[in-house]
Structure 1
Amino acid sequence: MARDKYQTLTEQMFYILICLTQESCGVDIMKKVEELTNGRVIIGPGTLYSLLDNFVKEKIIIETKIENRRKNYVITSHGTEMIEKEYLRVTKLKNDYEMLIKGGKEQ
């Protein structure tokens, strides 16, 4: 059985999708991700627009409007389910780390 293409999300995918909980264009997404991560994650235009095209094809996001070359997007319910699953997966990793490495102690 083939592995689901989006079973886990890269950081770039995750940040793009959380940015699209509010309607945004590509340039706005790149700025939001850089600001949100204090420059730790930077998404170049090639990566961004490739991912946006794939997300549209997979119905993870939809185009909301097109003005000249500027396209706006927003996440779909399917996309929202994906980021929620990813959040739960990463939270489970964090919890396992704390249990095994930190001995379950809160810091």
Structure 2
Amino acid sequence: MLTLLVALSDGEQHGYALIDHVEALTAGGVSLGPGTLYRTLQRLRVEELIVEVDADPAAERADRRAERRRRYAITEAGKAAAAKELRHLHALVTSEQAVRLLDEARPKE
């Protein structure tokens, strides 16, 4: 959920672009399938963290597939929720315990 909100903070996108964006943001660590993606997008819509936006008419004329693509944008509530979660995550990953765990898990040369 957080990764999708971060991806949408770059601007509105359609579902398959989001799959690629999430994979790039996570350096391949998260790979979303269509089912997971669209279930999560629906949940984010219900929670009003994202909205579905109307397709660009010029893009529709240029690419007939564009009219079938649903595009999504993050809402102000979504930005606030993502920022709050990122602050919590930042506090966690910079904690003494997390740093120690990362050091212990680092491959030895």
Normalised-by-shorter TM-score class: 0.7 to 0.9
Cα distance in 2 between the residues matched to 1:99 and 1:36: 21
TM-score (normalizing by structure 1) = 0.75
- Secondary structure of the residue that 1:39 maps to in structure 2? coil
TM-score (normalizing by structure 2) = 0.73
Gapped regions of structure 1 (runs ≥ 5): 1-12, 103-107
Per the alignment, do residues 68 and 82 of structure 1 end up closer, same or farther by CA in structure 2, a change over 3 Å counting? same
Aligned to 1:73: 72
Cα root mean square deviation, aligned = 2.0
Per the alignment, do residues 99 and 44 of structure 1 end up closer, same or farther by CA in structure 2, a change over 3 Å counting? closer
Cα distance in 1 between the residues matched to 2:14 and 2:89: 27
Identity, in percent, stands at 33
- Secondary structure of the residue that 1:32 maps to in structure 2? helix
Larger radius of gyration: 2
Gapped regions of structure 2 (runs ≥ 5): 56-65, 102-109
Instruction: Give the C-alpha shift of residue 90 in structure 1.
Output: 0.7
Cα distance in 1 between the residues matched to 2:93 and 2:99: 10
Q: Which moved more, 1:93-102 or 1:70-79?
A: 93-102
Per the alignment, do residues 47 and 100 of structure 1 end up closer, same or farther by CA in structure 2, a change over 3 Å counting? closer
Compare the two structures and name the one with the higher helix fraction: 2
Q: Which moved more, 1:64-73 or 1:93-102?
A: 93-102
Q: Which has the higher contact order (CA 8 A, sep 6+)?
A: 2
Whether the aligned pair in 1 keeps the contact of 2:93 and 2:99 (CA below 8 Å) is: no
Cα distance in 2 between the residues matched to 1:39 and 1:55: 22
The size of the alignment, in residue pairs, is 90
Give a deviation string over 1:14-44, Cα, whole Å, max 9, x none.
1111111111000000011112222111011
Instruction: Give the C-alpha shift of residue 86 in structure 1.
Output: 0.7
Compare the two structures and name the one with the higher strand fraction: 1
Residue in structure 2 matching 1:48, options 37, 60, 64: 37
